[in-house]
Amino acid sequence: MTDEITLELPEIRLAARVWGPADGLPVLALHGWLDNAASFDRLAPLLPECRIVALDHAGHGLSAHRGHGTYYLLDYVADALAAAAALGWSRYALLGHSLGAAVAALCAGAYPERILRLALVEGLAPLTDDPDEAAPRLRTALDREARGPRVSERAYPTIDAAAAARTRATGLHPDAARILVERALEPVDGGWRWRTDPRLRWPSRIRLTAAQVNSFLRAITCRVALLTADRGIPFDRAVVAERCACIGDLEVTNLSGSHHLHLEEPEPVAQVLASFLVADPGDARTPLAEG
């Protein structure tokens, strides 16, 4: 069974999808950029010992859009931590995919005492910049913001048409694309339109440096599982090796699949995560206070 909840946080209203028993291992699941909580629809039911709460990040899925003009990575970190607090969780596991993996890693570095396990799928840390790139990046972002949003967004005649567009753009399997798209659309005259905030595509004003990201990773104290796909995003191997070396207790598993392997091929992912997440859960099994 899947439940839908809404979390009224101090800064924003977030929607979430929930699976599993109320006394299961608390797991906060964080999806990737331009995805939504449905990203975990096929994986979560395969982890029956876990109480998985998958957020829609701000501007995604059924969650509210930000009031200010742009979306900052560190705002997602604050949202995730605030969501866990709103759920009444003091210690919990994090499961992140892509952007969600980067957010989860920063959460675990900032508050290591709260995180029991950290499971990362096709993502390890946020993109970084050389410090000398800060000024031109800020200028590019501000110039884009000054132009404002587009007057109108394209409408698709059917949900299937929107799913086909997602497949063409990303290579996502059509069945997986439809799962994500159904939660990302809203009805309008003439068909369906993305409810996702178009400002999510605007460039970032600033990025963390490699040294800053590495400091977050070195601060992580829990066990970490990194799942990569053999047909996933071709990350720079030297950078990945540097990041991995910063983490004290890391298990890396390479699986057959693409970037969304947890959605397209969930069974092998579940086999890895089932034992990893629930091993020695300690005092993690506490009732939820969901609203």
DSSP secondary structure letters along 218-266: HT--SEEEEEEEEES----HHHHHHHHHT-SSEEEEEEEEETTHHHHSH
pLDDT at 1: 74
Write the CB contacts of 243 (distance below 8 Å, at least 6 apart in sequence). Answer: 124, 125, 213, 214, 217
Phi-psi category of 239—alpha, beta or left, where left has phi over 0 and alpha has psi -120 to 50? alpha
With contact defined as beta carbons under 8 Å apart, do 211 and 219 qualify? no
DSSP 8-class letter at 9:
-
pLDDT at 150: 78
CA distance 10 to 21: 27
Look at residue 281 in the predicted model and tell me its pLDDT: 47
pLDDT number for residue 149: 83
Q: Is the pLDDT of residue 135 over 70?
A: yes
CA dihedral 45→255→265→168, nearest 10 degrees, is 130
Question: How high is the pLDDT of residue 268?
Answer: 98
Give me the percent of the chain exceeding a pLDDT of 70: 95
The pLDDT assigned to 279 comes to 74
* 3-state SS assignment for residue 133: helix
Mean per-residue pLDDT of the chain? 93
* Residue whose structure tokens are 């720079």: 236
Domain 2-128+209-278 has CATH 1.10.3720.10: no
| Torsion on CA atoms 21, 24, 28, 33, rounded to nearest 10 | -50
Mean pLDDT, range 24-35, rounded to an integer = 98
Give the whole-number percent of the chain exceeding pLDDT 90: 88
For the annotated catalytic residues, the residue numbers are 98
pLDDT for position 152: 67
Backbone angles phi, psi at 99, to 5 degrees: -55, -40
Query: What global pTM score does this model have?
Result: 0.94
